[in-house]
Each structure stands twice: as structure tokens, then as C-alpha cells.
């Protein structure tokens, strides 16, 4: 089983830090109702038996919505619950070993911060890459920030889909336009929100818009609150227009172009 770029558009990563009076099952269901296209179960502090019980329940939920479901890090749990696949980091099992354990029909995602890591993961059988952190994030204390030039270089270097992760939310997702990514992975931008369903719906719409911006268009992206000036000196408020007309320039509120 492999995943498409469309399935990676809005990739939701679980975190029980924001459960409150809710349950993880309920939160994931709300994310799916809002349009999440991929679910990763990432729970670092659960006993194995509890984790597996939760995994089985959420796997069935994802099956109902026809959304891929992967386990973070643990190949053993992914095998035990027959998840669609697993996502591993650079310090986890190498992608080739994961492929040998899981078989050819399962999804393998790999985190990457450099072109070299990305190429190696692809060579060893990864189906997609998670690249980041693209912005500062509180979800992972030791996250290494990856600049936009590196994100673009990774997308150019590999043939498999690439998603961005780390500090992404509704306020900055358009900054990723033109990078070559096919989707975003989010944690708090979904699960820390009072209305998870609405947050998912809004993020999905923004991400669809973002991935359809070409590299050429993204070079003319206006800063937040700035204005887009066309070659004919027509002015467009940056708040209502995300890209400048071809040949125009982006002017910030401080008149920076």
C-alpha cells in the first residue's frame, strides 16, 4: 500500500497533551470530519498495551474514513495492529530495515533535515518524507529547524512526496508556497484548537491553496498586511491577495519590497 500526494495534504499527528475532557478517539474523529487526510498515532508516554488498544480503535476509525493510518516509531506495534505503515525519525530504525520488517505493501515515512538524508531514505524504500521543523515549534523540544532553501532542495532532489512539519498553522502555511511540498503535518494547529473540525477544514483549504502556488508565483508573495503592486501600478491589499500580479512587486507595511 502506497500513499498519494492527495492523501498527504493534511497530515494530523496526535498528541494527548490537549485532551482535556475529550478522548483521543474523539479528537481524531473531529479531525477526520474536518478533512484530515492522514493520521499518525504519536504517543510517547503510553504503556504498550494501552497504546495498542488505542491504535486498534483509531485504525478502525481511519478505515471508516478511508484515510491512511501510521504508527510513529514502533515497527512492532505497527505490525501487531496491522497499521497501514510507520513513520520513523533519523534516530529510529533505518528505512531499509523497516521495509524488510513490514513488507512491500506498507507505507514508510521518514523524517529528514538534509538532502543527503532524504536521498538515503528514498533509496532505502521510504514512500514519503517529513521535512522540518520549518518553523519554531513547541511540540518537539529538540527539533532542528530547516530553512526554506533546504526544503526546496529536498523536494527537487527526490521523486517521492514531501510534507513539511514543525510550527505550521493557519497564520504561516502560505509561507510554504512554491517550496514543492505536497502537504503539511500538524499537531497543535489541530488538536490544541477549541474546534478541531473547523481548524481542520480551514487548514485543508489553505493547504490546497498553498500547494497550487507555483515557484514563480511564490517569489511575488506579499508579506502579511502588505500590498501587491502590478506593473501598471495597480495596488492589491496583501490581506486579500496572496500573490502579486506577474511582473509586480510585494510591498510590506513598512514599504519593504
Query: pLDDT class for 44, splitting at 50, 70, 90?
Result: confident
The two beta strands, 249-251 and 227-229, are: antiparallel
In a domain, 182, yes or no: yes
Residue 111 annotated to the active site: yes
| Percent of the chain's residues with pLDDT above 90 | 77
Percentage of residues in the chain having pLDDT higher than 70: 83
Number of domains in the chain: 2
In tens, the pLDDT along 142-186 reads: 678 999 999 999 999 999 999 999 999 999 999 999 999 999 999
Active site residue 204: no
Rounded distance between C-alpha atoms, residue 133 and residue 129, angstroms: 12
pLDDT of residue 220: 61
Q: Determine which of 120-124, 161-165, 188-192, 251-255 has the lowest per-residue pLDDT on average.
A: 251-255
Q: Is residue 113 part of a domain?
A: yes
Do 146 and 233 fall into the same domain?
Answer: no
- Within this chain, do residues 80 and 47 fall inside the same structural domain, yes or no? yes
CATH number of the domain encompassing residue 194: 3.20.20.70
Which residues have C-beta within 8 Å of that of residue 24, sequence separation ≥ 6?
Answer: 14, 16, 43, 54, 58
Q: How far apart are CA 36 and CA 12, in angstroms?
A: 6
Of the candidates 202, 164, 157, the residue with the CA atom closest to the CA atom of residue 181: 164
The whole-number average pLDDT for the span 94-115 is 97
> Per-residue pLDDT for 80 more than 80?
yes
Q: Are residues 253 and 180 both part of a single domain?
A: no
Contact of 119 with 155, CB cutoff 8 Å? no
- Supply the mean pLDDT for the chain: 87
Using the predicted structure, report yes or no on whether residue 64 has a pLDDT greater than 70. Answer: yes
Instruction: Clarify whether residues 227 and 110 are in a common domain.
Output: no
Regarding whether 239 and 207 lie in a shared domain, the answer is no
In tens, the pLDDT along 195-242 reads: 999 999 999 999 999 999 988 777 665 544 444 433 333 333 333 334
Higher confidence at residue 33 or residue 239? 33
Question: Which of 92-101, 127-136, 218-227 is predicted least confidently?
Answer: 218-227
Residues 89 and 204 in one domain: yes
Q: Which domain holds residue 236?
A: 220-257
* CA-wise closest residue to 14 among 67, 74, 60, 55: 55
Among 59, 74, 111, 218, the active-site one is: 111
Cα dihedral across residues 236, 240, 246, 249: positive or negative: positive
User: CB within 8 A of 212, min separation 6: which ones?
Assistant: none
pLDDT(256) > 60: no
Is the residue at 254 inside a domain?
Answer: yes
- Return the bridge partners of 137, or none: none
| 211: its cell numbers | 500547494
Q: Are 113 and 145 in contact (CB under 8 A)?
A: no
Q: Which of 42, 59, 106, 197 is catalytic?
A: 42
> Cβ–Cβ contacts within 10 Å for residue 132, how many?
25
Burial (CB count <10 Å: 0-12, 13-18, 19+), residue 84: buried
How high is the pLDDT of residue 249? 41
Does residue 1 sit within a domain?
no
Question: Which residue in the list 5, 16, 140, 201 is annotated as catalytic?
Answer: 140
Please report whether residue 53 resides in a domain: yes
Q: Catalytic residue at 240?
A: no
Question: Do 192 and 241 reside in the same domain of the chain?
Answer: no
Asked if 169 and 47 sit in the same domain, the reply is yes
Q: How far apart are CA 227 and CA 43, in angstroms?
A: 43
The mean-pLDDT minimum among 13-27, 69-83, 85-99, 215-229 falls in: 215-229
Check whether residue 142 and residue 75 sit in a common domain.
yes
Do residue 20 and residue 54 come from a single domain? Answer: yes
Amino acid at each position: 500500500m502506497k500513499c498519494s500526494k492527495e492523501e498527504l495534504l493534511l497530515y494530523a499527528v496526535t498528541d494527548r497533551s490537549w485532551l482535556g475532557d475529550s478522548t483521543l478517539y474523539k479528537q481524531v474523529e473531529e479531525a477526520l470530519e474536518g478533512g484530515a487526510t492522514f493520521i499518525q498515532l504519536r504517543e510517547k508516554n503510553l504503556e504498550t498495551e494501552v497504546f495498542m488498544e488505542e491504535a486498534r480503535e483509531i485504525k478502525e476509525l481511519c478505515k471508516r474514513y478511508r484515510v491512511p493510518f501510521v504508527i510513529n516509531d514502533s515497527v512492532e506495534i505497527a505490525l501487531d495492529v496491522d497499521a497501514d505503515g510507520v513513520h520513523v525519525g533519523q534516530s529510529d530504525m533505518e528505512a531499509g530495515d523497516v521495509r524488510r520488517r513490514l513488507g512491500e505493501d506498507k507505507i514508510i515515512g521518514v523524517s529528514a533535515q538534509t538532502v543527503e538524508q532524504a536521498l538515503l531514505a528514498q533509496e532505502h524504500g521510504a514512500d514519503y518524507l517529513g521535512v522540518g521543523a520549518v518553523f519554531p515549534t513547541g511540540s518537539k523540544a529538540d527539533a532542528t529547524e530547516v530553512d526554506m532553501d533546504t526544503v526546496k532542495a529536498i523536494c527537487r532532489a527526490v521523486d517521492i512526496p514531501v510534507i513539511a512539519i514543525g510550527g505550521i498553522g493557519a497564520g504561516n502555511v502560505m509561507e510554504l508556497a512554491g517550496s514543492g511540498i505536497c502537504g503539511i503535518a500538524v499537531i497543535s494547529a489541530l488538536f490544541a484548537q477549541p474546534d478541531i473540525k473547523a481548524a481542520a477544514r480551514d487548514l485543508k483549504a489553505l493547504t490546497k491553496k498553498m500547494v497550487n502556488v507555483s515557484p514563480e508565483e511564490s517569489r511575488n508573495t506579499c508579506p502579511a498586511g502588505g500590498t501587491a503592486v502590478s506593473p501598471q501600478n495597480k495596488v492589491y491589499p496583501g490581506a486579500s491577495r496572496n500573490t502579486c500580479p506577474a511582473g509586480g512587486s510585494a510591498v510590506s507595511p513598512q514599504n519593504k519590497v
